[in-house]
Amino acid sequence: MQVLTFEPAPESEKREAEGPQGFPAAGTVRDGSLVGISPVDERDLPSIAVSSVEAVRSTVRRARAAQPVWASLPLSERTRRLRKAAGNMLRDRATALRLIREETGKSEAEALFSEALGPLDQVNGWAAVVQRAMRPERVSLNPLAFPCKRATVEPIPRGVIGAVAPWNFPLATFFRCVFPALLTGNAIVVKPSEYTPRVANWFVSHLQDELALEVLDAVHGKGEVGRALIDAGIDACTFTGSVASGREVIAHCARLMIPVNVELGGKDSAIILADCDLDRTIAGVTHWALSNAGQSCGAIELALVDERIADRFVSRMADAWKRLKAGPTHAAVYDVAPLAHLRQLDAVEEQVRDALARGATLVCGGRRTRAGLGYEPTLLSNCDESMAVVREETFGPVLPVVRVSGIDEALRITNNSRYGLTASIWTSDTRRAERIAERLEVGTVTINNHALTGAIPSLPWSGTRDSGYGVANSRYALSTYLRPRTVLVDQASIPDPYWMPFDDVLSQLGEVLADLQVARLSGLPKLPWLLYQRIARTRRFYGM
């Protein structure tokens, strides 16, 4: 049996644990606790105890015991409690902003707009999605084939959901799993990233104060705790993370017959056409390439620019990026956050080195900041598909620019990527862009903007290829949290005509039904139900 670790390769783990120039490592375990080091100022953060395997099992058992009572509450009551908790989160947002900055390095202004402002809007958005999805569906049955019968499909909660979450949006990542899980009547146990456990505890505690039932809790640790959560008897799993770990999670859940929803990496293209509004395009691409230091699966990681405007685009982009303030700084506000941990900074630097060695031009950036784990906004020109920075996910404040001869080349590069999460098209001709969108093999296409659908509960966020087959947001995501239960009611006063015994009369009835279907294909009137019933009554039902 393959061992599920969710861990980095040993070489990466060793490099991270040691750290260059004395910089200590976050996310490692020491004396049974997670070591916390802020990427802002290298300060030690309060330690968090690692959950034992038995503690994980016990947490899932408590959640399972509480779930039926929670599911029995009306949706309106579940929504009321979540809204109250979300309101309390908004009132206590200063604490959330401080914790997000301490654990990820994100500035308080950026964390406010990307995470801390969201809980109440997300609860309301999800409540609307769930209210529609939870309605029982009356299914129309063919009265000839299924006489005196009616059927209803009821969505019911799966039970206990396990959520293995990433570090890049340590608060907002829970909006897309915890809120729909609870609103649909499930219990949920979350395993946050080992880099961001304190933000998770803040979120969980605010909800626990209002839920009044043990239907939500967190367990902490590295990959082995995620594996223990899946093994603890959960009914479905949601995972957001790397492609390598996602494959392990999928395989492990498959062996246990657990439904799993996976959202993995991305290498999002911005296709920039010659007729774009260059001012707005520069601003938009800058924002979506550098938000959260590019540490987002939906970040713009590749600019495919029409060669007719490529020089102007690069020049204007460089001017804009050189004016940005890269963190961390002592001030609470800066434009570009530091990398969240050392392993990610090493990976970004390696991709930039590879690109320069293969002929890319460094337009601006390309250096670490003086403090913490910051890296300057880095623009690379003259890039091509031989470079890892063009092919592989970067997850950093780096944007390679590839000059393309036209839309066909841009489509080829985007669709040939191993990833297929989102893409954006920047142009003044939106009708043309909509036609281009039909040819993009990605989960979401945004025109003259990028990736904002990830924060809209009513719109699906999904991908293709190595971006995973999972869906976040919208009714399409609810199959992780709901399963259908069919209830069929038979109101007939006599046995169905096809029941035993298998005699000649039954065979004749079958022949009549077959001829009827052929007649309907020819446009002839339907056989009256009374005739069907008369034929059925000619049967002898022994002992009935």
DSSP H or E stretch at residue 161 = strand 160-164
Q: What is the mean pLDDT of residues 349-360?
A: 98
More confident: 154 or 10:
154
Q: Specify the DSSP element, H or E, that contains 245.
A: helix 243-255
**Residue 328, preceding bond cis, omega within 30 degrees?**
yes
Query: 159-199 pLDDT, tens per residue?
Result: 999 999 999 999 999 999 999 999 999 999 999 999 999 99
Residue in 471, 458, 483 with CA at minimum distance from that of residue 130: 458
Phi, psi of 128 (to 5 degrees): -65, -40
- How far, in Å, CA of 198 to CA of 90, rounded? 17
pLDDT at 144: 72
Read off the pLDDT band of 526 (50, 70, 90).
low
Q: 204 exposed, middle or buried (CB, 10 Å; 0-12, 13-18, 19+)?
A: buried
Does 16 score more than 50 pLDDT?
Answer: no
pLDDT for residue 531: 56
Residues with a catalytic annotation lie at: 263, 297
What pLDDT score does 341 carry? 87
pLDDT at 128 over 70: yes
Q: How far lies 179's CA from each of 83, 209, 215, 402, 443, in Å? A: 10, 15, 12, 40, 22
Query: How confident is the model at residue 11, as a pLDDT?
Result: 33
Q: Tell me the pLDDT of the chain averaged across its residues.
A: 90
- pLDDT of 357 reads 98
Structure tokens given for 238: 């949601």
What pLDDT, on a 0 to 100 scale, did the predictor assign at position 515?
A: 78
> The tokens 């403090």 sit on which residue?
371
In whole angstroms, give the CA distance from residue 140 to residue 153. Answer: 11
More confident residue, 516 or 240: 240
Cα gap 294→271, rounded to integer Å: 18
pLDDT of residue 496: 85
Contacts of 527 (CB under 8 A, 6+ apart): 144, 512, 516, 519
Mode of pairing for the β-strands spanning 137-139 and 149-157: antiparallel
Instruction: Name the strand (E) or helix (H) holding 139.
Output: strand 137-139
Specify whether the CB–CB gap between 245 and 6 falls below 8 A.
yes
Token representation of residue 244: 């390598």
Instruction: Give the predicted TM-score (pTM) of the model.
Output: 0.90
Q: Which of 273, 266, 304, 291 is nearest to 448 (CA)?
A: 273
pLDDT band at 337 (very low <50, low <70, confident <90, very high): very high
Percent of the chain with pLDDT over 70: 91
Residue with tokens 């298998």: 502
Q: b/e per residue, 99-135, with b = 16+ CB within 10 A? A: bbbbbbbbbbebbbebbbebbbebbebbbebbeebbe
* DSSP notation for 327-382: SP-SSS--SBPPPSSHHHHHHHHHHHHHHHHTT-EEEE--SB-SSTT-B--EEEES
Of 88-102, 202-216, 244-258, 512-526, give the lowest mean pLDDT range: 512-526
pLDDT band at 524 (very low <50, low <70, confident <90, very high): low
- Whether the Cβ atoms of residue 234 and residue 190 lie closer than 8 Å to each other: no
Tens digits of residue pLDDT in 188-246? 999 999 999 999 999 999 999 999 999 999 999 999 999 999 999 999 999 999 999 99
Confidence of residue 536 (pLDDT cuts 50, 70, 90): low
pLDDT for the residue 102: 94
pLDDT the model gives residue 533? 54
Q: What pLDDT sits at residue 13?
A: 35
Distance CA(334)–CA(478), nearest Å, equals: 37
What is the model's pLDDT at position 499?
87
Tell me, what's the pLDDT at 509? 78
- pLDDT range class, residue 543, cuts 50, 70, 90: very low
Q: What is the pLDDT of residue 537?
A: 55
Which one-letter amino acid corresponds to residue 492? Answer: A
CB atoms within 10 A of CB 309: 18
Which pLDDT value is given to residue 516?
Answer: 74
Q: Which residue has the higher pLDDT, 503 or 541?
A: 503
Instruction: Give the number of residues written for the chain.
Output: 544
% of the chain surpassing 90 pLDDT: 79
Token reading at 83 = 């809204």
What angle (nearest 5°) sits at the alpha carbon of residue 328, between those of residues 325 and 334? 40
6 vs 89, more confident: 89
All structural domains of the chain, each given as residue ranges with its CATH number in brackets, are 67-264+477-484 (3.40.605.10), 268-457 (3.40.309.10), 495-537 (no CATH)
